[in-house]
Amino acid sequence: MAGEPPAHLLLAVFQMFFFTYLVRVMSNMRQGGRQARRRRLRHREMMLGRRPARIHPAYVPAALALARGGDPINRTIWSYVRLPATFWQKFVQGTLCDAEFYKRFRMTRDTFQMICDKLNPVLEKSDTRMRLAIPTKKRLAICIYWLASGDLMRSVADLFGVSEGSVSLIVHKVCDAINEVLFRDYLSFPTGQKLKETIQGYKERWGFPQCAGAIDGSHIPIKAPSKNPNDFYNRKGFYSVILQGVVDHMSRFTMIDIGMPGSVHDARVLRESNVFDRGESGTLLPQEFAQDINGVTVPAVLLGDAAYPTLPWLMKPYPDNGALTREKFDFNYRQSRARMTVECAFGRLKGRWRCLTKRLDVLLDNVPDIVGACCVLHNICEVHKDEDFEIQFPVEQGERRPAARRQGPPSAARDALARLFSQEGN
């Protein structure tokens, strides 16, 4: 018929559509197969818990040679050749005089040897066929030298003839050993007769009765942590953690708490510490140490600055509003003079161990161990008199007047001491 397409043209169009449909079907089948293989591979990796290991082609000949009993493959470099450690040779040969030894290690030879003897069972390593172990004395010397100088670990490694990685590992191991072996022997809150001696020491040396210690905090500089760095940025303009310490009349630490971020207020640090828990439970300063002063039962207390709250076991100065009476002014002076023991302790601590005055380039989790070891070593040096300075102030004595005993709030105890100091001044 006129106007109808030829039959061969319709067949050609039908074949073209059919071919296009067939290509689309085959493409979808191939794509579905690839997706199925990916799903199986992911499932297998999930079941194995790891991706399939890929072996480098260069390892295959070596593995075949060792399997067939061939010659072993020797390392190109077993250990790097290092320059002789001149400083360590002088240390071993004993050519360092006592003054030079003290300048570098901030303690005498006898104290160093005592610490070495106590830590030897924990730090001693055995020699192997591969290499000789680093002796305990050298390990302790590396750690104490780094704590006392705060130098780069690379510089310490050059002085002692070891690698930088070995210095880092040794410092952490020795600090852990100090905290494990020596912490309880040299850093613990006094009880019984020792607590009486501390209270008597504050009265005789600093002129403040019923004082069992002073408490304060100090910032330890650290590098900015990767997690929540703003929490560790303090008001002084650097990143730090807080060391809260309680000290006795000889500026020796009796309790420490380390690790709170530098932006936290001192009052919150106190409430999150072990000192607060023991003080509130009554196990820190028992009531048996209370005494009668001007008719008021005054318990044994810790001294803190104005940042701390007034608690039954913690005494702070009167708030200075510009209109203090002479009696309150004298109390604040006495309280500040006695509380200066904790300031002296922090000063001596950072004066001995200079690593605490610089930024500690270690992991945040390792900071408490290093700071704790420094506090223990500080107490050891104080006990063995490894120091060339001593701070003394005149002590004023006064007699107590007997009177009837009556229980009063914390402010009443502070007022009673203020009246006592005023009577001594008159």
pLDDT tens sequence across 40-59: 777 666 665 555 556 666 66
Q: Give yes or no for residue 248 having a pLDDT over 90.
A: yes
Amino acid 322: pLDDT: 79
Amino acid 234: pLDDT: 93
pLDDT tens sequence across 385-416: 876 544 333 333 333 333 333 344 567 888 88
Quote the CA–CA distance of 99 and 96 in Å, as a whole number: 8
Amino acid 399: pLDDT: 31
Q: Which residue has the tokens 């593995």?
A: 63
- SS3 labels along 215-284: EEEEEEEECCCCCCHHHHECCCCCEEEEEEEEECCCCCEEEEEEEEECCCCHHHHHHCCHHHHHHHHCCC
Q: How many CA atoms lie within 13 A of 356 on its CB side?
A: 26
Q: Coil, strand or helix: which one is 142?
A: helix
Nearest alpha-carbon partner for 381 in 111, 86, 28: 111
What is the average per-residue pLDDT within 293-302?
A: 89
Q: Give yes or no for residue 80 having a pLDDT over 50.
A: yes
> Which residues pair with residue 214 across a beta bridge?
247, 303
Quote the CA–CA distance of 15 and 9 in Å, as a whole number: 10
Q: Which two tokens stand for residue 132?
A: 């000789």
Residue 244 binned pLDDT confidence (cut-offs 50, 70, 90): very high
Amino acid 173: pLDDT: 96
Quote the CA–CA distance of 135 and 145 in Å, as a whole number: 16
Q: Give yes or no for residue 295 having a pLDDT over 60.
A: yes
Quote the CA–CA distance of 416 and 392 in Å, as a whole number: 26
Q: C-alpha 252: how far from its chain's center? A: 18
Comparing 12-26, 85-99, 232-246, the range with the smallest average pLDDT is 85-99
Amino acid 100: pLDDT: 86
Higher pLDDT, 24 or 311: 311
Amino acid 16: pLDDT: 80
Q: Coil, strand or helix: which one is 296?
A: strand
Amino acid 55: pLDDT: 63
Residue 422 binned pLDDT confidence (cut-offs 50, 70, 90): confident
Number of Cβ within a 10 Å radius of residue 405: 12
Expressed in percent and rounded to 5, the helix, strand and coil fractions of the chain are 55, 10, 35
Percent of the chain residues past pLDDT 90, beyond the cut: 53
The angle formed by the CA atoms of residues 158, 89 and 173, to the nearest 5 degrees, is 60
Q: Give yes or no for residue 149 having a pLDDT over 60.
A: yes
Amino acid 98: pLDDT: 84
Q: Please state the domain extents for the chain.
A: 86-181, 185-425
Quote the CA–CA distance of 313 and 169 in Å, as a whole number: 42
**What are the φ and ψ backbone dihedral angles of 361, each rounded to 5 degrees?**
-85, 60
**Chain-wide mean pLDDT for the chain?**
83
* Alpha-helix residue ranges (DSSP H) falling in 73-108: 86-93, 98-105
Residue 76 binned pLDDT confidence (cut-offs 50, 70, 90): low
3: left (phi over 0), alpha (psi -120 to 50) or beta: left
> Which residues pair with residue 241 across a beta bridge?
220, 261
Cα dihedral 30, 32, 33, 38 sign: positive
Higher pLDDT, 262 or 401: 262
